[in-house]
Amino acid sequence: MDNERKVAGVYIRVSTEDQAREGFSLGEQEEKLLQLCKFKELEVYKVYKDAGISAKDMEHRPQFQEMLKDMKEGKLNYIVAYKLDRITRSVRDLEELISVLEQYNCFLLCDRDDVNTSTANGRFFVRMLTVLSQLEIEIVSERTKFGLNGAIKSGHIPGQRPFGYKSAEDKRMVIDNATRSYVEKIFDMYLEGKSFQQIANYFKENNIYPKKNWKDTTIQKIIDNKIYMGDYEQYKRIGKQENLEPIVYMNVVEPIISRAKWEECQRQKERNQRTYTRDRVYIFFQRLKCPSCNRIMKCKGSGGTKRKYMYYTCEHCHINFNEDHVEHLLRDFIYDLLEYDMAVKKFFLPVLEDKTNNIDTTSIDKEIRDLEKQRNRIKDLYIKGIVEIDDFKEDYKLIEDKLANLETKKLELVNLETFNYSPHELLAERDLEKEKMIRLDTLNTVLKTKWDGMDKSGKQEFISKFIDTIEIKKDSKGNLILEKINFRNGFIRQLVKFYERGIFDVAVPVRVGDKEETIKGGRMNEEQLDKYLSKMNEYFETSFYEMYETIDEETNEVILEYQPKDNEKIIRFVAISPKDKFPITVDNVKDKYGIISYKTNELLERI
């Protein structure tokens, strides 16, 4: 072909969807493009028409392929189209097309998009337009799935119901209160360090829900399933086979466990290696990190039948910690956790559970009635000789177990419903009880008795409930030094929830007299402070003293100071603010800070 000649192949394409949406008929496109060729002084070699064909790929468009063949044979050196998406909506196909056009010295013109690939800027602009076109294709594809997605998001989950869930009357997936406690037990046991097989054996040995085929794979599927934290994962099983990326729909059903607990269980998998010794119970099982390489330390034991020496060891760095020494090092810290756990169970459980006075047990009542009907039907079938005694016993026990779980759940809800509380009155009750025990020198005795009364399994379970990892090192003399404790996310979220409600402790540095002390404190508004003081004053004289601020001459930082009074003990530091939430920091000096204290001589008289 003469290099000076400009010969064009006019390409027009329309799909049924395009024509219905925007009226891009073949006739209209042809007319406009022939006018463009005349204006650009292009000689038209041929008009290529693909009717009713999408732009997902170029391979399955016969007229487009014929046009490329003619271009390669030198019959044309321009391709003219109405819009870029008439050519392709695939970034990959576009890159391939531009490469071929450059190879054969051919250019692309698009009327509506002002595209011209004869320049570098024009080729860049084409790529940007194609990215947008591909996005449009993906959006259209998503719209075809909209009905299914909408159903999933409203709780209509496809497929068989996982253990712990059932179908409601409207076919939505809802929690099965008769079996939810078993799911909770599985996740709790896994966080304690139990293996999949150990959990399965426990459920089989205790004849829990015998119709379930308890195997290690059964437990693993439950631990892996996102549905238990409220999320549904689509294409999880078939994704790898059909090259599909799993799609996760978040918060589509009511969760049985918290998101934090599910995520902690996934991290637990990394620790549950078969190399760990499991023939003995170790208090700090999978909790100690090697101070040199940060690996989780393995457990080993030595000694005879009378005395077992338990060790945590890193085989890579040859570092060993004696369990008795670790327990002694962490004793005071463990006592603090015990006191916290006791306080939560006795005073703050309703706050932690977010329970109010509008609890509805209707759904549980209905489940109980349905199970009672099933039980009566099984009795009738057995009496009539239709069901054998073994089948009767198995089915009857299963229903009885479910009923017991539902009755327990209902009782818990009713107890919380009838629990009238003010959070800051509860806080006062807790502080009062703690101060009484401190003054009578019984707190440590109670905590020591509680800890020593646990067996090794109980201690291990307690530690795993709060602590993720512990970092310890040895000094030059071989003494153990506590470097850091990393808490579990679930425990941290509990503390955050308490802190947001202003009813738990945050360590705050305060200058008391001529020295700095760390005092536990929280935040309250003035109404909450009045409730707290009113409750405390039922037992002894309590005072609130507003603190004053000074500026450190060297650091220029604001320092909160309090001058102690005679015969008074500080209970807690308080930040007072009319706002609902605010950070307690020394920078937040616009809020009012104070100290709550009581007269020590009066407390002993009133105990």
Burial class of residue 333, CB neighbours in 10 A (0-12, 13-18, 19+): middle
Report yes or no: 472 and 299 within 8 Å, Cβ to Cβ: no
Structure tokens that stand for 497 in this block: 């929830």
Which one is catalytic: 15, 25, 258, 534?
15
Report yes or no: 8 and 61 within 8 Å, Cβ to Cβ: no
Report yes or no: 518 and 508 within 8 Å, Cβ to Cβ: yes
Contacts for 500-508: CB closer than 8 Å, 24+ residues apart: 500/581, 501/351, 501/423, 502/423, 502/424, 502/528, 503/348, 503/351, 503/423, 503/424, 503/426, 503/427, 504/348, 504/427, 505/572, 506/584, 508/573, 508/584
The DSSP string of 510-532 is EEETTEEEEEEEEEE-HHHHHHH
Please give the Cα distance from 590 to 577 (Å, whole number).
Answer: 9
Report yes or no: 34 and 44 within 8 Å, Cβ to Cβ: yes
Residue 455 dihedral angles phi and psi, to the nearest 5°: -80, 180
Strand residue runs (E) in 59-146:
78-81, 107-110, 115-116
Strand residue runs (E) in 315-353:
319-322
Q: Using alpha carbons, select from 289, 287, 268 the residue that is nearest to residue 198.
A: 268
Is 464 annotated as catalytic?
Answer: no
Structure tokens that stand for 376 in this block: 């009566």
Active-site amino acid positions: 15
